[in-house]
Chain A
């Protein structure tokens, strides 16, 4: 379609250094989540654990899965499916809470 826009090439190469830094960050977050689990925070424990898991997911999706460097349409797809899942969760929990 457009000139100079080929669907067959990938200009972006993630450097080894970036990948290793992300890996170290993921390991760091894992040790935080294991440590925090040992501290009694009551109801907050679950939310802290889920928050850390969400941060880890964002790192994996953006860098390892290359979403950061993909066409915007990929981000739209991801957003739509994430929101669908969120709506399903929210509706179910609303139903569960007010039953």
Chain B
């Protein structure tokens, strides 16, 4: 018997590295479920307080700009479309179109943050920001409403920023042919993340901007 402990190094004999794309997507979905619970918890707090402070919530929501909220909804839905188009384009082996659509997605994401900046700036100038004197003098329900508004749209905004960074890396991979029509699971997973950010907004929008 040989005492040699041979280490078997897998060599790429036929130039093929085994991948498991279904497994990669499944992992992404599992991560998305943890995100769902993160936001779900906040929606739960919102739900309970909305019933407890019904009138104050309606009153406080008057301060929010429905127009800018609607605009951001359209921007985000369109960015979801472009990232989905980017995947379809790549599957059809049209790299150029895929790059264009992915770039558009990043542009829309940035547009969303620019709108958010103007929206929050307007609130701040009206003296409504966490811990502000104007806010502390309001009723409990209104304090809770604006607290939830800043935390929930804030964490959602953080997800947008992370999404921009993620999509930018994916764009570089795509341009450098690290993502190809035969291997594009990274693009798919980034797309899944981006759609989740869109999904969260689909619920945030009516709950904060459309109570009248």
Contacts and interface: CB of A to CB of B under 8 A. Distances in A.
Interface of A: 7-10, 13-16, 19-20, 22-23, 26-27, 30, 33-34, 37-38, 40, 45-46, 49-50, 52-53, 56-57, 60-61, 63-66, 70-71, 73-74, 77-78, 81, 84-85, 88-89, 92-93, 96
A15 B30 CA distance: 27
Interface of B: 19-23, 25-26, 29-30, 33, 36-37, 40, 44, 47-48, 50-51, 66, 70, 73-74, 77-78, 80-81, 84-85, 87-89, 91-92, 182-183, 188, 191-192, 195, 198-199, 202-203, 205-207, 210-212
A45 B50 CA distance: 13
Given A30-B70, A30-B77, A85 B202 contact: no
B50 to A, nearest CB: 8
A50 B85 contact: no
Nearest to A5: B22
Contacts of B206: 33, 37, 49-50, 52-53
Nearest to B80: A64
Given A34-B210, A37-B212, A88 B40 contact: yes
Given A19-B85, A20-B81, A64-B80, A81 B33 contact: yes
Given A14-B88, A73-B26, A89-B47, A53 B192 contact: no
**Interface SS of A by simple majority:** helix
Nearest to A77: B29
Contacts of B211: 37, 45
Residue of B19, B22, B30, B33 with most chain A CB atoms under a 10 A cut-off: B22
B74 to A, nearest CB: 7
Contacts of A57: 199, 202-203
Given A33-B206, A81-B33, A70 B25 contact: yes
Given A27-B74, A37-B212, A38-B212, 10 more contacts: A14-B84, A23-B78, A30-B77, A37-B66, A37-B210, A57-B199, A63-B84, A65-B192, A81-B37, A84-B37
